[in-house]
Amino acid sequence: QKEVEQDPGPLSVPEGAIVSLNCTYSNSAFQYFMWYRQYSRKGPELLMYTYSSGNKEDGRFTAQVDKSSKYISLFIRDSQPSDSATYLCAMSALIRGSTLGRLYFGRGTQLTVWP
């Protein structure tokens, strides 16, 4: 079983739709959760960063973490064609007590928002 599972899509929605992207994970030690957006042939761009369980909102984006279910989500409201990209979830844990470990990535979900 992979550390992080993410449906690769592709996902295609009309402009204005609410988009829901999800990842599940197996390592209960993960405490730090991130969502990245990657446009074609570009490096990933950090969208949201969340520590432990709960919700975080930033403009049209909302990140949710449910540690009990080992499930994280990213919601995009009022989606725009410019949101068309690949969205990668990533997570990390502390190792050896206080040292920050590496990031574990999902495969990425390819999203297309059509006008």
Partner 1 sequence: GAVVSQHPSRVICKSGTSVKIECRSLDFQATTMFWYRQFPKQSLMLMATSNEGSKATYEQGVEKDKFLINHASLTLSTLTVTSAHPEDSSFYICSARPSGRGTEAFFGQGTRLTVV
Site residues (vs partner 1, CB under 8 A): 6, 8, 32, 34, 36, 41-46, 49, 51, 88, 92, 100-103, 105-108, 110
User: Long-range contacts made by residues 94-99, C-beta under 8 angstroms, separation at least 24?
Assistant: 94/29, 94/31
- Output 33 or 113, the one with its CB closest to partner 1: 33
The dihedral of CA 98, 43, 50, 6: what is its sign? negative
- Output 17 or 31, the one with its CB closest to partner 1: 31
Q: How far is the CB of 78 from partner 1 (least distance, A)?
A: 26
Q: How far is the CB of 62 from partner 1 (least distance, A)?
A: 18
Q: How far is the CB of 79 from partner 1 (least distance, A)?
A: 21
Look at residue 81 and give its three-state secondary structure. Answer: helix
- Output 34 or 76, the one with its CB closest to partner 1: 34
CA 99, chain centre distance (Å): 23
